[in-house]
Amino acid sequence: MANNEETFKKIQEIIADQLDKEPEEVKMESNFKNDFDADSLDIFEIINEIEDEFDVKIEAEEGIDTVKDLVEFVEKQA
């Protein structure tokens, strides 16, 4: 499985694509709600893409506020 940096890069691309941002705008500490004005459906969409890309199952979208939360979730399951 990819290391932390690779995981982040892929997740960064997925988020940037979904939220119409430049990849470099998506940082590890970015908060979906506060920094990107993303709502629950945006997060659903991002989680779906990540589940497909990494072949993982993310059940608890409640606990996902930042990019770091997602990266750590994927790393844990890898």
Partner 1 sequence: MLKITQTAHYVPSKVVTNDDLSKMMDTNDEWIRTRTGIRQRHVVTDEDTTDLVVNVANELIQKGGISGADIDFIIVATASASEAVPTAAAEVQKAIGASKAFVFDLNAACSGFIYGMSVLRGLFTNPTYKKGILIGAEVLSKYTDWSDRTTAVLFGDGAGGVLVEKDAAAGNMFLGEDLLSMGDLGDKITMAGTTNESPFNDGATADNPGKWVTMDGRAVYAFATRNVPKSIERALAQADLTLDQIDLFVLHQANYRIVESIAKRLGQPIEKFPMNIANYGNTSAASVPILLDELNAAGKIKRGDTIALSGFGGGLTLGTEIIKF
Query: Catalytic positions, please?
Result: 39
Q: How far is the CB of 44 from partner 1 (least distance, A)?
A: 5
User: Contact residues for partner 1 (CB under 8 A)?
Assistant: 39-41, 44-45, 47-48, 51-52, 61
Half-sphere exposure of residue 59: CA atoms within 13 angstroms, side-chain side: 1
Angle, CA 59 vertex, CA 12 and CA 69 arms, to 5°? 35
Q: Give 61 or 72: the residue with its C-beta nearer to partner 1.
A: 61
Q: How far is the CB of 43 from partner 1 (least distance, A)?
A: 9
